[in-house]
Each structure stands twice: as structure tokens, then as C-alpha cells.
Structure 1
């Protein structure tokens, strides 16, 4: 059977909506976080509290001390979603303007100044592989990764076109204890917790 391009797009859109409905129905039923990627649904079984949330809170607070009042380093909901790409993600910290956060439903990922992820112990490839692929595809200009498994991280910037789609051109690795620049702000990474 041959599928015309318009039919293929409609089929992909239908599949995405079905995945989205499933994710929304599971959000309050099962622990962890569900996201929709180019590869399908990801379920991250992170447990609440501990080094993951403490790291996100420290990074958020350190950034907000430096940012102007019209911006925030948000650690709550909602998701960022690009339905045309079939991607719905939930960054641990979003650097965003208050006005861009004040919307009904999901946030347009192109309004984010940066997305910050704390690597999950249960599914590190989601942050180091999947989101490295998905975030430039949906237009998030800066992606910072903090990894409590190793006490290291990276900041990815400079989206550029490639044969496989948009990708980050620049990666700056760091070790906990060093200063790290995320967007226009440089914060310390000292005293961030590690997984035991």
C-alpha cells in the first residue's frame, strides 16, 4: 500500500495524539515521568526527592539570582510541546519569560531560553541521547545537562542544520565544582549532590 505524503502526516498526527492521550492518562496513575520523543514514549522511573530534585532546585535558584525579574528558571509544569514534530518533553528546569509561561496547555519550546536536565539514574540515555536529538529539533537554543551519577555535565548550543535534522554544534563539558555558563548567566556547580 502506498501512503501519500498528506496521508502520512495525518497518520503521524493521529499516532502522536494517541500517544499524548495515553501519556496524559498515565501521569497521575504511575510514578515517574512520561514524555513523547521522535522514537515513541519514554517512561522515566525517577523517584521524587533526592539528588535529582535538589540539583534542579540549586540550579534554578542560582540562575534566578542573576536573571532579570521578567525571567524565571521554572521547575514545574507544564510540558513543552511541538505537535508538528511529534515531541512533548518536560525539562527539569526551563529558563523562560513569565509572559511565555502564562499560557493554557503546553509551552511552545521555541519560547524557552534554555532547558536544563538532571540526568536520571534510571534512564540516562533519555537526557544524553534522546534530548540531545529532540531539543534542537524543537528549537531550544541552549541545553544544559547535569549528571549526578558522575559529577559532570555539558552545555550544548548553536543549533545548525545537518542531514539528520537540526543539531547542536557546540558542546562545553564541565565537572562539578567548575563554573558553567547557561545562556547569559554563569553559575557555580559546587556542592551539588551525587547519587550514592
Structure 2
């Protein structure tokens, strides 16, 4: 990793740039450990329907006090130079009662639905950034292929923290995200 990519000064400069331009560009801007990424996040039905169904299924499986939250705010770690917005964040309600961004170390899991416009952001960038942020479980649902994966067991490597375990699944199978198992049947695919 570029040693300057994660500096607080560089992060603050990128954050300031995003604040200035976010409302004038389509999609979403995030700060990664390697720079700014622009995900067009075209509001396509299959992406949003997958997010909604995964969110609902997680909510049904989880106890009171734990949320499958979609939307703002972001998760950020200035010390690592990363600001991300997972499609679904599994988090305790008590950990949501904070001003500003969520502390990524309070997330139980991050769930992403692969974007048609930038699939490497989910499959490559976030598998690099989420363990760096200390998010213990990362689940990916990919409407392009009808498959996904759950990453767990953060461990140190020469290139920084990485997930040691990857469990692949295909739509139609049950998948376990953190402590909760949900069905994947009926999730839409991209045309």
C-alpha cells in the first residue's frame, strides 16, 4: 500500500473534495485506501431489490437491538484514510447513537450488492479495505452471476490485514452472515 494513501492529511483533502462535488456528480464517492472511487450506482431495480430483500431477511433473523441498516451515514477511519458506505450494515442500535460517521469497528458485518458499473469496487477494493477497518464479516451478493461470498477471520499479512476465510454460495442456498442464516432464493439477477 502506498504509505501516503492512508495519511490523515490526505484523507481530509479527499474528504473535502468529496463534500464539494458529491451533489453535482451521479452516484457515490468513497475514499479507499488507494484513493477516491466513483461508483455510478445507477438505481437499477435488481440492485435495490437485492439490498431490500437481504435487509429484510437479516432483520427477521436478528434479535431486537441489532439492525440491518441501509443508507447513511458512512463508516470511516481517518487514521486509515478510508470512508465507505456499505449497502447494508449489521450494527447494534446503541452503536448508531453517535454523531457523524459510524466507527467501522462497531459493525458486526458489512453487506454489499455488486454494482454493474464497478464490480471491482466490491470484489477487490472492499475485500482490501473492510479488514483494514476491522469489520469482522463481509458478505457480497453478485446479481451478475447469482453467486456471492462471505469473508471472515481477519489476519495480518505483509500487505495489511486480510480475510483468511472465504465461503462461496450460489443463489438458492442459505448463507450465514455473522451469526444469522438467511435464504438467497428469489434474489434478482441483472439482465
TM-score (ref. length: structure 2): 0.95
Q: Give the distance between the partners of 2:175 and 2:120, measured in 1 at CA.
A: 22
Q: Distance in 2 between matches of 1:14 and 1:162?
A: 25
Q: Which residue of 2 aligns with 1:27?
A: 22
Larger radius of gyration between Structure 1 and Structure 2: 1
1:78 aligns with 2:73: yes
Q: Does 1:55 align with 2:62?
A: no
Structure 2 partner of 1:93:
88
- Measured in 2, the distance between the counterparts of 1:147 and 1:49 equals 14
Displacement after TM superposition at 1:188 (Å) = 0.3
* Matching residue within 7, 12, 21 for 1:12: 7
Counterpart check, 1:147 vs 2:154: no
Secondary structure at the aligned position of 1:133 is classed as helix
Q: Secondary structure at the match of 1:78?
A: coil
Q: Distance in 2 between matches of 1:103 and 1:29?
A: 28
Q: CA separation in 2, counterparts of 1:61 and 1:104? A: 26
Measured after TM superposition, the shift of residue 49 of structure 1 is: 4.2
Per-residue deviation, 1:12: 2.8
Paired residues for 1:139-178 under 5 Å: 139-178=134-173
User: Structure 1: which 5+ runs fail to align?
Assistant: 1-7
Within-5 A mapping of 1:103-142: 103-142=98-137
- Name stretches of at least 5 consecutive residues in structure 2 with no aligned partner: none
What secondary structure does 2:166 align onto? strand
Higher mean alpha-carbon deviation, 87-96 vs 14-23, is at 14-23
Note the alpha carbon deviations across 1:77-121, whole angstroms, 9 max, x for none.
Answer: 000000000000000000001111121111100000000000000
1:26 and 1:98 map into 2 onto residues whose CA distance is: 31
Aligned residues: CA RMSD: 1.3
Query: Which segment is superposed worse, 142-151 or 40-49?
Result: 40-49
User: Scaled by the length of structure 1, what TM-score is found?
Assistant: 0.93
Q: Equivalent residue for 1:5? A: none
For 2:20 and 2:107, the matched residues in 1 are separated by 26
Deviations along 1:105-149, one digit per CA (max 9) or x if unpaired, are 111000000000000000000000000000000100000000000
Q: How far, CA to CA, are the matches of 2:23 and 2:66 in structure 1?
A: 29
